[in-house]
Amino acid sequence: MAFNTLHKYHYSFTTTLKLHNMLKTKVLEALNEQINAEQFSALLYLSMSAWFENKGLPGFANWMYVQYQEELTHANKIFKYVVERNSKVELKQISQVPVEFDSVLQVAEQSLEHEQHVTGMINNLVNIAIDERDHATHSFLKWFLDEQVEEEASVREIIDSLKLIDGEAKGNGLFMLDRELRKRIFADET
Ligand SMILES: [Fe+2]
Ligand SMILES: [Fe+2]
């Protein structure tokens, strides 16, 4: 092969290699947005943990601290995926999280509401991946779909317990639930 032809071949070959795995703009933007949402979730739960600590409920604080750690692993999982797809992570500003809450039940309900919002975002991301015919991203997002189902169910369980306690001797039930939640430990499932 003459040098010129070889050079041309080499150039187009490496360019194709470089672009080959890259995410399409719409998918990339949505994934970067999701990293931000997971980081926001982390800080929201850390703030809830702080509120519980302040109220003298270390078990509930532990529950939220574990959630905080989990959300960080979610953000990092997407971070690694974007890098693997030869694309650029762009971190965005994280909105101010609430720092005051009305009651234990309200914190749990707000956390469920937030998880439902995140589920909506993941569903939307899946739609984008399908529209863009990005099968790898679609497959990657399946883990998040399952995770959201688990997370919503787990918060709902605590809300149910709190509502049950409310009808009975409140202080004692809350104390017992707090002791139960103290046992939760963080395990990286990503
Ligand atoms: Fe998450
Ligand atoms: Fe979550």
Domains and CATH numbers, the chain: 25-181 (1.20.1260.10)
CA of 41 to the centre of ligand 2 (A): 7
Confidence of residue 170 (pLDDT cuts 50, 70, 90): low
CA of 111 to the centre of ligand 2 (A): 9
pLDDT tens readout for residues 52-103? 999 999 999 999 999 999 999 999 999 999 999 999 999 999 999 999 999 9
User: CA 116 to CA 146: how far, in whole Å?
Assistant: 13
CA of 178 to the centre of ligand 2 (A): 20
Query: Model's pTM, two decimal places?
Result: 0.89
When the pLDDT of each residue in the chain is averaged and rounded to a whole number, the result is: 92
CA angle 66, 68, 71 (to 5 degrees): 110
Query: Could you write out the three-class secondary structure of 97-111?
Result: CCCCCCCHHHHHHHH
Place of tokens 């975002």: 121
CA of 35 to the centre of ligand 1 (A): 9
User: Residues whose CB is under 5 A from ligand 1 (ion)?
Assistant: 38, 71, 74
* Rounded alpha-carbon distances, angstroms, from residue 174 to 105, 124, 169: 11, 37, 9
Q: Interhelix angle for 104-131 vs 135-166, to 10°? A: 160
In the predicted model, what is the mean pLDDT of residues 7-33?
Answer: 80
Residues 126, 119 contacting (CB under 8 angstroms): no
User: Residues whose CB is under 5 A from ligand 2 (ion)?
Assistant: 151
In the predicted model, what is the mean pLDDT of residues 169-187?
Answer: 89
In the predicted model, what is the mean pLDDT of residues 13-19?
Answer: 66
User: CA 5 to CA 19: how far, in whole Å?
Assistant: 21
